[in-house]
Structure 1
């Protein structure tokens, strides 16, 4: 009888753990195994090559370019899906009334649009010469750049689409967190003379600590994922690979070039990098609250 509560707990946890085992842990283990092999999805047998796939990637200049571009995508995602939603949420609270509800609906609207549809709309907006942005630039007497074919602007243009599409989700999280803060604490801080940047840095941001951490980690971890569909629809990694990133490169290596071992090695390095970033942020947050 003394073991029954433990058995009941195991039975309650078992379904969830089973799903994690099948859909998370086993794919991770299989991906690591595959990264040590040379396989093209066609041959019946995978050839064991050890760390050769990793060595080839680390010596490949294209992989270094993909790494830089991936970090740039993540940095732009931190701006567009962390700082900007937080700032817009703060401004929305200052407006109040029906205008606040209008702005909430307006900012959240892109989130309900399918990513592929949003990418096609922006593909039309970016059209050289005939696109609305090019025509608008011509009206003011300037020449619009080739947003998607010029390496100087292509990555930024694709990232803009991804950030615009998912801005509303992060905005609503920030807005809900701000609305849930205890009013008495905020009013007491203002009575004590906390205003402007002092109020934000010393009162508001510490109270929002867990939410800010979630938003920041979500923006970083999802930055490459958010850009995947816009890249595939708008540029397919071009021009000359300047809009690709590690996540899209994994897809290309596996399902276009059929180099599954190389794709698995890229996926393993990407997972390791994201894991280290998240662990670093959690460690810093733990030290701050220690």
Structure 2
């Protein structure tokens, strides 16, 4: 069943779209040389020292290319993992399928989980530092103005409090989004583990979280809207976003179909059982009806 779904046109289309989104995104990032061209133009017009300016710009341009390539490595690995899974499902060899592609996806999901946790800790640490600095600054300002008999200190303290509240609201929203992404990645990991177990043991498992498929649909719709908006400013990046959004929707459909097929294997339809069982066919000579046709015997 996993081989059938993994080699289906639906999953093939998802793999093609994701690969296209990665390639288009890479081209879009590498195509940012127009920005450096403008910087070269402004540097030449403002009379900057060419012995310092041009080597610096060359270093920045080279560093940007390296950064783009390094940032694209996880996406390239994910695309390769999808093609590995499709190839092993497409193979006509008997036996269990290879789970190498699923393992790559799981490792990337674990790395994403670690990154989300580190980012959340960084946001909380920055908020604590800002809170301490704002509180200390507000107290110092209030004490300074109170010594001269002014009411400006209370205004400064109120401004500091407003800034702290605003930053706290932003932090709460950011942490909530990170928690949502964390739960999403954990759902991805659980689903991959269950698919791997089914592939290795042959035991059907229909436990695909509906939260995962729902998030894929939501991310696909939001990504599609963002891609449509980006088509007017950056057509290549807009096409990349649209391809990625379509891939998410197709993956959600694949997972939904996988859940339905596994449910059919776990709970096959039951044939109705009639009381007493089926009636066996009659093997003897049918009885002669009164007044029936003459059968050649001696009449009584």
Q: Normalization by structure 1: what TM-score?
A: 0.26
Largest Rg, 1 or 2: 2
Q: Which has the higher contact order (CA 8 A, sep 6+)?
A: 1
